[in-house]
């Protein structure tokens, strides 16, 4: 297993990427994970504890894993946007990953604003010939920002989509999250916690294990 911090070329300059590349027996699932962090405007970074929980889960599951800072965060250049630029960043990281690994079974995850971005990336991939050789196997939406403009109209094709959120979420209405999941028949785990999963990271990891399809 190799971990490296990279600066990769991107439309807004460079993106800071924390990548893990599996090798040998550890790479058991032909898996590739791309992880999107919360809203940069509110201090979100790739080192967010929820993103880090996903990162460790995917690493320990034998996947290649890439998390990254959106433009304007950490060592990533450019200015924070309202969503379109961040989608472009996620797409850039996915393209980079696909050039550097043979893994094609994608585990795409995001927390809060990152969940919104992950869903948009999944939608962009749908029926896009550039990604016909990629199997979007798991789409993990962790307390996604379902009220953002355009989220309700997104459609994607994934083998398995799931959602995890807290019943005391103070930033994204649990009622709206439940409605979003019900409308799309998305399997859901609701934990007794707020938006940031304080004190519930072990339970979050267990929920990731429960929902992820091999």
In degrees, rounded to 5, the angle at the alpha carbon of residue 109 between the alpha carbons of residues 8 and 107 is 85
What integer pLDDT is reported at residue 214 of this predicted model?
83
Does pLDDT of 25 surpass 80? no
Does pLDDT of 173 surpass 90? yes
CB 122 within 8 Å of CB 90 = no
Kindly give, in sequence order, each residue whose CB lies less than 8 Å from that of residue 165, ignoring residues fewer than 6 positions away: 142, 143, 144, 172, 174, 177, 188, 190, 191
Candidate from 8-17, 50-59, 145-154, 158-167 with smallest mean pLDDT: 145-154
State mean pLDDT over 3-17.
98
CATH of the domain at 13: 3.40.50.1820
What integer pLDDT is reported at residue 104 of this predicted model?
96
What integer pLDDT is reported at residue 28 of this predicted model?
53
Report the number of distinct structural domains present in the chain: 1
Give the domain extent around 37. 2-211
């Amino acid at each position: 297993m190799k971990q490296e911090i990279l600066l990769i070329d991107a439309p807004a300059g460079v993106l800071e990427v924390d990548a893990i590349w599996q090798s040998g027996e550890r790479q058991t699932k032909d898996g590739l994970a791309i992880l999107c962090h919360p809203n940069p405007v509110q201090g979100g970074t790739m080192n967010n504890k929820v993103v880090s929980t996903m990162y460790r889960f995917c690493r320990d599951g034998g996947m290649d894993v890439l998390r990254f800072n959106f433009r304007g965060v950490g060592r990533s250049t450019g200015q924070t946007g309202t969503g379109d630029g961040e989608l472009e960043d996620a797409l850039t990281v996915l393209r980079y990953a696909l050039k550097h690994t043979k893994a094609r079974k994608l585990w795409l995850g995001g927390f809060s604003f990152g969940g919104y971005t992950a869903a948009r990336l999944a939608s962009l991939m749908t029926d896009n010939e550039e990604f016909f050789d990629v199997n979007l196997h798991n789409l993990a939406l962790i307390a996604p920002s379902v009220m953002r403009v355009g989220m309700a109209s997104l459609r994607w094709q994934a083998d398995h989509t799931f959602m995890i959120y807290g019943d005391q979420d103070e930033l994204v209405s649990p009622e709206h999250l439940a409605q979003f999941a019900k409308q799309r028949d998305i399997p859901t785990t609701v934990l007794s916690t707020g938006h940031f999963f304080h004190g519930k990271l072990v339970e979050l990891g267990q929920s990731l294990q429960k929902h992820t399809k091999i």
